[in-house]
Structure 1
Amino acid sequence: MTTLRPENLYHVGIIVEDFESELKRLTELFGYEWCDELVADTNVRIHTADGPVEKTITNRFTYSVNEPRLEIIRPIPGTVWTPSNSGAHHLGYWSDDVVADSAALVALGMPLEVEGVGPDGLPYWTYHRGTQGPRVELVSSAIKPGLEGYWAAGAAR
């Protein structure tokens, strides 16, 4: 059984074609404020029918300073990072054990789609996709202090 609980949900990820306009729209509609955009080269392992494929991608995204947090992401054509018809691309959950929680989601019918691979070769985040609803992202709670610092810096601007 997965250890994920509602209180572990910390963000909703949304992929948008027009990044700046969407940030402005969400600010005007709901009063969201934004952290600086992050650009991160990430080694990922993409799970395909033919097996895993490793590559490096460049993610560009920001989080809202306000809670509930939104993560607004620029698309990456030819990957899972494309806009969703429903708007919500994924629900992001903290995980104290990404490997075990990932295995639990797979056992519950949510196949592993892609994972961010750390220097130790282990995943520190994963995406899982079932037959319905948005993806579930597991994020190692070990990186929580770094993200909290990022959010605090955005709030201080």
Structure 2
Amino acid sequence: MFPLEGFYHYGIVASDFDKTIEELSENLGLEWASVTEFEMICEQPNGIVTADMKVVYSTTGPPHFEVIRVAPGTVWGEADLGVHHLGYWTENLQEDHQRLTEAGYVWEACYHNPETDGPYGFTYHTLSNTRLRLELVDIGRKPAFDNWMAGGDFPTAMEPGGMQN
């Protein structure tokens, strides 16, 4: 089971990326890492999709705030609904994915890696009744995340320390 102390971010999906960052900065005093844009190939229940991503995390925290530009047709396809997800580090993505699925959380997405069987890098699950959405992120990604928070570049999924199985 992933520990509650593994909670590290609130995820927000925004239709107006820049305005959302400005609002959070002005009202909560948040400061930000470098904004990054990239394409991400994801597995979802409806198949493999490519998401045009624009992402930033607050360097203020933990907990951090993650702002994601809306990406239609993906798990990030609905914007401006408040907190989109709660992000947790997990030491065993495969086991926690299975546990949440068996507990009734609906699996929504993970990074697509054709060389792995099962979720890779991260996974999203949502409870049917409350719509509480959790993002589990492989703890192997944390060193690259910490480097980004310290002013480094955003880690790509396949670079060492980016996402590991």
Same structural fold, with TM-score higher than 0.5 when normalized by the shorter chain: yes
Partner of 2:142: 144
Aligned ranges for residues 29-48 of structure 1 at < 5 Å?
29-48=27-46
Q: How many residues align?
A: 147
Of residues 114-123 and 21-30 in structure 1, the stretch that sits farther from structure 2 once superposed is 114-123
Partner of 1:125: 122
**Residues 80-137 of structure 1: CA deviation (Å, up to 9, x unaligned):** 212153x010111101111110000001110211111236325111100112143110
Percentage of identical aligned residues:
32
- Supply the distance in 2 between the matched residues of 1:103 and 1:109 (Cα, whole angstroms): 10
Would you say 1:25 and 2:19 are equivalent positions?
no
**Structure 1, gaps ≥5 residues long:** none
- Supply the distance in 2 between the matched residues of 1:151 and 1:127 (Cα, whole angstroms): 22
Would you say 1:65 and 2:63 are equivalent positions?
no
Aligned ranges for residues 68-147 of structure 1 at < 5 Å?
68-81=63-76, 82-83=78-79, 85=81, 87-118=82-113, 120-122=115-117, 123-131=120-128, 132-147=130-145
RMSD: 1.5
Shift of 1:55: 2.7
Q: Comparing both structures, which one devotes a greater share of its residues to helix?
A: 1
| Equivalent pair of 2:42/2:112 in contact (CA under 8 Å) | yes
**Residues 29-60 of structure 1: CA deviation (Å, up to 9, x unaligned):** 11100111112322211114xxxx11322211
TM-score of the pair, normalised by structure 2: 0.83
Q: Which amino acid aligns with 1:117?
A: H
- Supply the distance in 1 between the matched residues of 2:114 and 2:143 (Cα, whole angstroms): 19
Q: Which amino acid aligns with 1:101?
A: D
SS state at 1:111 partner: strand
